[in-house]
Amino acid sequence: MTLLAAPTTNYVRRRERARELGARFDFAQQPLALYLAIVDAQERAFERARNDSPSRADLAPYVVRVALPGVMEAAVAAGTETLREATLLRFDEADLEGLIESWLAGDETSGTDTFLARASTQPVLEALPELAAQLRRSDAGERTCPRCGGLPQLAVFPETGEALLTAQRTLVCSRCAKEWVLSRMVCASCGETSGAKMPILSDVDLFPHLRIDACEICRRYLITVDLRKDPRAVPVVDELVALPLDLVAAERGYTKIARNLMGF
């Protein structure tokens, strides 16, 4: 029973944190309002997927039948005018199963297509780790998700419970949400190990628990969430409000390893 309840608790925590951060940061209110609508649809898809256990062959049709309608409804209800119009256009004209398969294959797609596919498919993959594992290709890089082969979305320094104990860095998959350990002295994109080539950028007054970990070699970066500095943080939600840090990274010529659900 505990194993089944834990993922649902994750969605509750994501929802509560999004409300908290939306009240704290004016600039994040609109994207977090959309996120809250999407989380409701994702939680429903997660529960359905656990019960239905679709096969890999049926994954795209299943997502289109079960998860995508709720995500589209949320996007139309809570999204920007541009997102609403683009979503309605996809509903009328797009090959929706092809849209899902393209995202699964890692193909370059439009921002709207990526948003719809990711928001709809991710909860299904999070619910079914064995299904997610079937997506990992034999040529997947060593710094990709050990389960599905997805790119890391963000990094986390977890709480250790001891002030002098150094926490291991974990990465969170942008596709199936699995967490895995990678040395903090290794670039999560290219594998660079020289600390002099990996600058850290932050705004401790605005985000004391968030920072940019960048790499001068590959010019990529990700956001790191330090739970030792804010134990209430929910990494996948807190990363969404790091837009000011994303802008700093962009100004300095860095590209995020994997954009988050909102496209930042």
Question: In this predicted model, what pLDDT tens digit does every residue of 72-109 receive, in sequence order?
Answer: 999 999 999 999 999 999 998 889 999 999 999 988 88
What pLDDT was estimated at residue 52?
98
The residue count for the chain: 264
User: Looking at residue 142, what is its pLDDT?
Assistant: 83
pLDDT attached to residue 126: 97
Q: What is the per-residue pLDDT for 5?
A: 39
Q: Using pLDDT thresholds of 50, 70 and 90, give the confidence band for residue 167.
A: confident
What pTM was estimated for this model as a whole? 0.93
Quickly state the pLDDT bin for 165 (edges 50, 70, 90). Answer: low
Q: List pLDDT tens digits, range 192-204.
A: 999 999 999 999 9
Residues near 175 by beta carbon (within 8 Å), at least 6 away in sequence = 118, 122, 125, 132, 135, 145, 148, 149, 150, 151
In this prediction, residue 1 carries a pLDDT of: 35
Tell me, what's the pLDDT at 108? Answer: 80
Q: Output DSSP code: residue 66.
A: I
Phi, psi of 214 (to 5 degrees): -110, 170
Other residues' Cβ atoms within 10 Å of the Cβ of residue 66: 18
Residue 110 has pLDDT above 90, yes or no: no
